Amino acid sequence: MSLGAPHFGALLAIASWAAWGGAAVLADPAPTAALLPAHFEGDTVYVQLRTPEGAPLQLYTDTGGGGLILSAEAARRLGLHVALATDPEVTSHLGPETRTATPPRTKEPSPPLPAPAVIVNRVAEIPAWPGQGDGIVGAPWFAGHVWTWNYPKQTLGLEPASWRPPRSAHVLPLGFQTDAKGRETTHFPRLEARIDGRKMSFLLDTGAETYLTPAAVQALGSGQARMRATSMISSSIFESWRAAHPDWPVIQAAQVATGADMIRVAHILIAGIDVGPVWFTRRPDAAYETFMSSMTDQPVVGSLGGNAFRSLIMTVDYPNRRVSFLSP
């Protein structure tokens, strides 16, 4: 999720740990993952799927997003039948003029795409931002499976159901919102991290992204992509960090269209691993306190995106509600 506020994917989504800091779990070496055709751009991840007939489909992947969004052009190319939505859950969130289609089938190892596919004229988080391929696929696609993001090697793998964390892994529990029968509702993973001596809850959000102004890119230094992964934090915490740490760099009006500021946090501990420094984009308090926290098991104050995981091998085990980190 790029903005920590309603967006196409999120709108489709209708525990404490005694040994805080991470622990190695003794297990046999992990089985080999089935790699999906994927490419990484600024620590965000696109998958390049194909239908059984061989038609290509490029999707932006987002653990913090809702269902499936496809562009009208992709739907036309794939021969999908597009019609006005009849699902009351979809129309209540997105309006009666929303168009949907049955998703195309894809070749293994990709799991089936979540239904329905919401059809939009152009896939972009904000109209002023660049388009994002043929669409966006979110949390329901990841749910029920075990996934490994190898950020250093830039691969995305689907692990077998028998996967277990390797001996050297740092493991954290994940929180998921559930109903009265214990069934997951939104599939949005919540994890804890420690910043400035404080334990905080975040959305694990591989799709968190920003589109930077040229001035922000220049401030970050050469080689930085304008569209790139970011982490996000509520405005009140952003301000508390800025007041307590005047040495933490701040880039004002860094994000195109929203004018959001960014702050560089010196140290962040995830499962006991220091992955800092990490840039955070400022978001309104209500984006997390009111909106996103309504879809997680406990309140969250922000998102951790690919820029926080970029040095790690991360495996999200949805069935067992845990995340495993290896630091190469």
Residue 8: inside a domain: no
Look at residue 254 in the predicted model and tell me its pLDDT: 98
What's the order of all strands across the beta sheet hosting 56-61? 38-41, 44-50, 56-61, 135-137, 68-71, 117-120, 99-101, 83-84
Overall number of domains in the chain? 1
Q: Retrieve residue 267's tokens.
A: 């140290």
Per-residue burial over 279-309, b = 16 or more CB atoms within 10 Å of its CB, e = otherwise: bbbbbbeebbbebbbebbbeebbbbbbbbbb
Euclidean distance between CA atoms 22 and 43, whole angstroms? 23
Structure tokens at 109: 């190892």
202 and 192 Cβ atoms separated by less than 8 Å: yes
DSSP-derived secondary structure for 261-327: -EEEES--EETTEE---EEEEEE-HHIIIIIGGGGSSS---EEE-HHHHTTSEEEEETTTTEEEEE-
pLDDT of residue 117: 97
pLDDT digits (tens, 9 = 90+) for 58-113: 999 999 999 999 999 999 999 999 999 998 988 888 898 999 999 999 999 999 99
Parent domain of 255: 32-326
φ, ψ of residue 13 to 5 degrees: the values are: -85, 100
Question: Is there a domain that residue 9 lies in?
Answer: no
Supply the pLDDT for residue 188.
Answer: 98
Residue 17 has pLDDT above 90, yes or no: no
In a domain? residue 292: yes
Among candidates 209, 210, 202, 196, which has minimal Cα distance to 303?
202
Q: Is the pLDDT of residue 199 over 80?
A: yes
Q: State residue 31's pLDDT score.
A: 56
The length of the chain is 328
- Considering the domain boundaries, does residue 186 fall inside one? yes
Residue 94, C-beta contacts closer than 8 angstroms, at least 6 positions apart:
8, 11, 12, 85, 118
Residues 6+ apart with CB under 8 A from 32: none
Supply the DSSP string of 103-159, one letter for each residue: PPP--TTSPPPPSPEEEESS--SSTTSPP-TTEEE-HHHHTTSEEEEETTTTEEEEE
Compute the distance between CA of residue 285 and CA of residue 257 in angstroms, rounded to an integer.
18
Across 2-6, 78-82, 205-209, least confident range: 2-6
Confidence of residue 24 (pLDDT cuts 50, 70, 90): very low
Task: Give the pLDDT of residue 222.
Answer: 67
Residue 52's SS3 state is coil
Contact 322, 191 (CB under 8 A): no
Q: In whole angstroms, what separates CA 296 from the centre of its chain? A: 14
Label residue 15 by pLDDT band (50, 70, 90).
Answer: very low
pLDDT tens for residues 263-293? Answer: 999 999 999 999 999 999 999 999 999 999 9
Q: What is the CATH number of the domain that holds 217?
A: 2.40.70
pLDDT tens for residues 114-158?
A: 999 999 999 999 999 999 999 999 999 999 999 999 999 999 999
- Residue 224 has a pLDDT of 78
In the chain, the percentage of residues whose pLDDT exceeds 70 is 90
Q: What is the distance, to the nearest Å, from the Cα of residue 295 to the centroid of all Cα atoms in its chain?
A: 14
Instruction: Check if the beta carbon of residue 248 is closer than 8 Å to that of residue 242.
Output: yes
| CB neighbour list of residue 111: distance below 8 Å, 6 or more residues apart | 141, 144, 145, 158
Indicate whether 13 belongs to any domain.
no
Looking at residue 3, what is its pLDDT? 56
pLDDT score at 32: 77
Residue 223, in any domain of the structure? yes
Tokens, residue 265: 């946090």
User: Considering the domain boundaries, does residue 275 fall inside one?
Assistant: yes
pLDDT at 26 over 50: no
Residue 192 lies in a domain: yes
- Report the pLDDT averaged over residues 184-189: 96
Q: What is the pLDDT of residue 12?
A: 46
